């Protein structure tokens, strides 16, 4: 079994009390590793190391070009170790090896490359023209915030970690990251690779695995921290806001979702069905912006739903380490049980699902059927049903009929969330008008899940605060300082503004 360590102040080490917790392959129950269980003292030590590294300027005073080169080197390191990192990611979290190799690990290195480019190309100083005051020059300087902490969920650990670390470091901050307890391994391994390659000065990047209730809380509450970026459930997001408020630190929150994928009656039905399937069942629906409500126009409803059921029935469930598998296990038995609870609720609310509604049968020997769940589709779901309002975070699709575009928009917006969404249509003007009405952070037209580092991502309403990625996601890791320079260094008659205080200065 591989040995994993915390990264604190440039040192790879065990937790301060030597404690660990086990992590398992959810498909088989095999013990994969004993993960170091950081204590609250370890969290404080990591924050202190990041504070020192920021305050002594070893990172914050490097040039943007130097930081850009280091982030590019991290991206290269990820790519060079992509096979190993993909294996770790898939085995630890239950996502398919195909997803890990094609999306998770390249997605991580892509984020480092994008933010390397941001560091190199975004101006650190921007002149301001105009303004009422005489003989002055004005500009804004973009400066690092300081110590930035990141707390991430278990569904996309490698990408989520990259989205927190890369922009923070690109902007000259130092970073402390806590992965989710279910899925700590890929980011601990990346931390180890970075430390072994001696890519960053001590304390610039710290990675600590451990419980959210202690380690996570410390990262949000500690007054030495200048920003906390959190991805996870809305419930814990609220707690992060409370904890951060003590020292008035900014937060970025990427929270839950119950996104609508709207299928208009002029859509290419085959393409739209593929988009709905992909938008719902990718990674078993354990994706925050999944389109778990498919809103389908009444005139095409029956034909479209039967296409969905047909396609869903062809998804291959099995060992996530097999390249031919479409859907692996849920992250853990408790997540599979949550899905089963919601499906039971759905049966009460709307009746029998058209497909799924149970764990799979006939899995290969050694696979734990209780940790898997079949893709499940409920039809004619009222949007007020709990299964249409609450985030299930599993392979469950609610199909909801609508009559016209205005009703589709109203149903889509009838949610406490606003993270993702889709519109499937052959009429782009119509689709864009529908997209404009949707109160959500991203809309994909004739597509779904098209997330990339170049484009901002985040939520409306209770799906979160702030944006990650894009130029917005880079600027979110900077302070804005306005500098006013009176170029008349002496001898000037005092100007009008001073007379606001006194007529005789």
Q: What DSSP letter does each residue of 368-423 carry, written as one string? A: -GGG----EEE-S--TTSHHHHS---SSEEEEEEESSHHHHHHHHH-SSEES-EEE
Q: Which of 171, 204, 236, 377 binds ligand NDP (CB under 6 A)?
A: 236
Q: Rank residues 101 and 255 by Cβ distance to ligand NDP and give the closer one.
A: 255
Q: Which of 15, 155, 292, 376 binds ligand NDP (CB under 6 A)?
A: 155
C-alpha distance across the termini of the chain, in Å: 76
Q: How far apart are CA 186 and CA 200, in angstroms?
A: 18
Q: Give the residue among 213, 251, 214 at the shortest CA–CA distance from 229.
A: 251
User: For the chain, what is the radius of gyration of the CA atoms?
Assistant: 25
Q: Which stretch binds ligand NDP (CB under 6 A): 44-52, 122-130, 229-237, 306-314?
A: 229-237
HSE toward the beta carbon, residue 63, CA cutoff 13 A: 5
Q: Rank residues 33 and 431 by Cβ distance to ligand NDP and give the closer one.
A: 33
Catalytic-labelled residue, pool 89, 192, 254, 468: 254
Place of tokens 């809309």: 443
When asked if residue 395 is in the footprint of ligand NDP (CB under 6 A), the reply is no
Minimum CB separation of residue 93 from ligand NDP in Å reads 11
Three-state SS for 77?
helix
Q: Which of 391, 394, 402, 477 binds ligand NDP (CB under 6 A)?
A: 391
When asked if residue 220 is in the footprint of ligand NDP (CB under 6 A), the reply is yes
Catalytic-labelled residue, pool 148, 192, 218, 288: 288
Q: Which of 35, 77, 180, 305 binds ligand NDP (CB under 6 A)?
A: 180
Q: Give the residue among 289, 287, 295 at the shortest CA–CA distance from 434.
A: 295
Residue 214 gets which letter from DSSP?
A: I
Q: Rank residues 375 and 464 by Cβ distance to ligand NDP and give the closer one.
A: 464
Q: Which of residues 460-499 bind ligand NDP (CB under 6 A)?
A: 464
Q: Which stretch binds ligand NDP (CB under 6 A): 115-123, 228-236, 311-319, 356-364?
A: 228-236
What token pair was written down for 450?
């098209």
Q: Rank residues 311 and 467 by Cβ distance to ligand NDP and give the closer one.
A: 467
Between helix 185-196 and helix 64-80 the angle, nearest 10°, is 120
When asked if residue 231 is in the footprint of ligand NDP (CB under 6 A), the reply is yes
CB 439, CB 460: distance < 8 Å: yes
Quick check: is 288 catalytic? Answer: yes
Q: Which of 58, 117, 136, 233 binds ligand NDP (CB under 6 A)?
A: 233
Q: Which of 64, 111, 255, 476 binds ligand NDP (CB under 6 A)?
A: 255
Minimum CB separation of residue 107 from ligand NDP in Å reads 13
Place of tokens 């190993």: 84
Q: List residues bridging with 205 in a β-sheet.
A: 175
Q: Which stretch binds ligand NDP (CB under 6 A): 49-57, 90-98, 147-155, 407-415?
A: 147-155
Q: How far is CA 31 from the centre of its chain?
A: 27
Q: Which stretch binds ligand NDP (CB under 6 A): 3-11, 116-124, 225-233, 269-277?
A: 225-233
Q: Which of 112, 114, 115, 154 binds ligand NDP (CB under 6 A)?
A: 154
Q: Rank residues 239 and 461 by Cβ distance to ligand NDP and give the closer one.
A: 239
Q: Print the binding letters for residues 266-305 with ligand NDP: x by CB under 6 A, - otherwise.
A: ----------------------x-----------------
Q: Which of 52, 122, 136, 181 binds ligand NDP (CB under 6 A)?
A: 181
Place of tokens 């925050």: 288
Question: What b/e readout covers 296-321, taking b as 16+ CB neighbours within 10 angstroms?
Answer: bbeebbeebbebbbebbeebebbbbb
Quick check: is 148 catalytic? Answer: no
Three-state SS for 157?
helix
Q: What DSSP letter does each residue of 295-354 carry, written as one string? A: EEEGGGHHHHHHHHHHHHTTPPBS-TTSTT-SB---SSHHHHHHHHHHHHHHHHHH-S-S
CB 59, CB 232: distance < 8 Å: no
Q: Rank residues 243 and 309 by Cβ distance to ligand NDP and give the closer one.
A: 243
Q: Print the binding letters for residues 9-48 with ligand NDP: x by CB under 6 A, - otherwise.
A: ----------------------------------------
Q: Give the residue among 234, 57, 167, 133 at the shortest CA–CA distance from 469.
A: 167
Q: Which of 57, 123, 134, 213 binds ligand NDP (CB under 6 A)?
A: 213
> How buried is residue 181: exposed, middle or buried, by Cβ count under 10 Å (0-12/13-18/19+)?
middle
Q: Which of residues 425-454 bind ligand NDP (CB under 6 A)?
A: none
Binding footprint of ligand NDP, residue count (CB under 6 A): 30
Q: Which residues are catalytic?
A: 254, 288
Residues near ligand NDP (CB under 6 A) are 151-155, 178, 180-181, 211-213, 216-217, 220, 231-233, 236, 239-240, 254-257, 288, 391, 393, 419, 459, 464
């Amino acid at each position: 079994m591989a040995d994993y360590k915390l990264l604190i102040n440039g040192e790879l080490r065990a937790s301060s009390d030597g404690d660990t917790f086990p992590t398992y392959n959810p498909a088989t129950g095999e013990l994969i590793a004993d993960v170091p269980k950081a204590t609250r003292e370890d969290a404080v030590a990591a924050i202190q190391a990041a504070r020192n590294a920021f305050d002594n300027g070893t990172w914050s005073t490097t040039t943007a070009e130097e930081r850009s080169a280091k982030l590019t080197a991290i991206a290269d390191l990820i790519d060079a170790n992509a096979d190993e990192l993909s294996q770790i990611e898939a085995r630890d979290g239950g996502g398919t090896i195909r997803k890990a190799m094609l999306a998770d690990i390249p997605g991580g290195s892509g984020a480092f490359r994008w933010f390397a480019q941001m560091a190199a190309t975004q101006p650190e100083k921007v002149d301001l023209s105009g303004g009422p005051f005489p003989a002055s020059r004005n500009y804004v300087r973009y400066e690092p915030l300081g110590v930035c902490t990141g707390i991430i969920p278990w569904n996309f650990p490698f990408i989520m970690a990259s989205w927190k670390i890369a922009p923070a470091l690109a902007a000259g901050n130092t970073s402390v990251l806590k992965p989710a307890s279910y899925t700590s391994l890929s980011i601990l391994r990346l931390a180890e690779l970075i430390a072994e390659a001696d890519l960053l000065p001590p304390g610039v990047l710290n990675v600590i695995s451990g419980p959210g209730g202690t380690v996570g809380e410390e990262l949000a509450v500690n007054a030495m921290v200048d920003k906390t970026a959190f991805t996870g459930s809305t419930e814990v997001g609220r707690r992060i806001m409370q904890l951060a408020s003590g020292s008035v630190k900014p937060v970025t929150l990427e929270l839950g979702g119950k996104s609508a994928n709207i299928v208009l009656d002029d859509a290419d039905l085959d393409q739209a069905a593929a988009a709905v399937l992909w938008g719902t069942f990718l990674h078993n629906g354990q994706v925050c912006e999944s389109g778990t409500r498919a809103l389908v126009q009444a005139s095409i409803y029956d034909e479209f739903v039967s296409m969905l059921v047909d396609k869903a029935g062809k998804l291959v469930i099995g060992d996530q380490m097999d390249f031919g598998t479409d859907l692996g296990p849920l992250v853990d038995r408790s997540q599979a049980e949550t899905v089963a609870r919601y499906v039971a609720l759905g049966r009460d609310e709307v009746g029998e699902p058209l497909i799924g509604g149970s764990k799979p049968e006939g899995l290969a020997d050694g696979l734990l059927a209780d940790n898997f769940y079949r893709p499940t589709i409920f039809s004619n779901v009222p949007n007020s049903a709990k299964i249409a309002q609450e985030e299930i975070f599993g392979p469950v699709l609610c199909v909801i009929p609508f009559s016209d575009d205005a009703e589709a928009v109203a149903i889509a917006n009838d949610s406490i969330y606003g993270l993702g969404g889709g519109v499937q249509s052959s009429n782009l003007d119509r689709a864009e008008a529908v997209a404009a009405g949707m109160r959500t952070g991203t809309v994909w037209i004739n597509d779904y899940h098209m997330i990339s580092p170049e484009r901002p991502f985040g939520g409306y309403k209770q799906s979160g605060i702030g944006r990650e990625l894009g130029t917005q996601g880079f600027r979110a890791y900077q302070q804005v300082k306005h500098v006013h320079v009176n170029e008349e260094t002496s001898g000037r008659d005092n100007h009008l503004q001073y007379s606001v205080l006194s007529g005789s200065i």
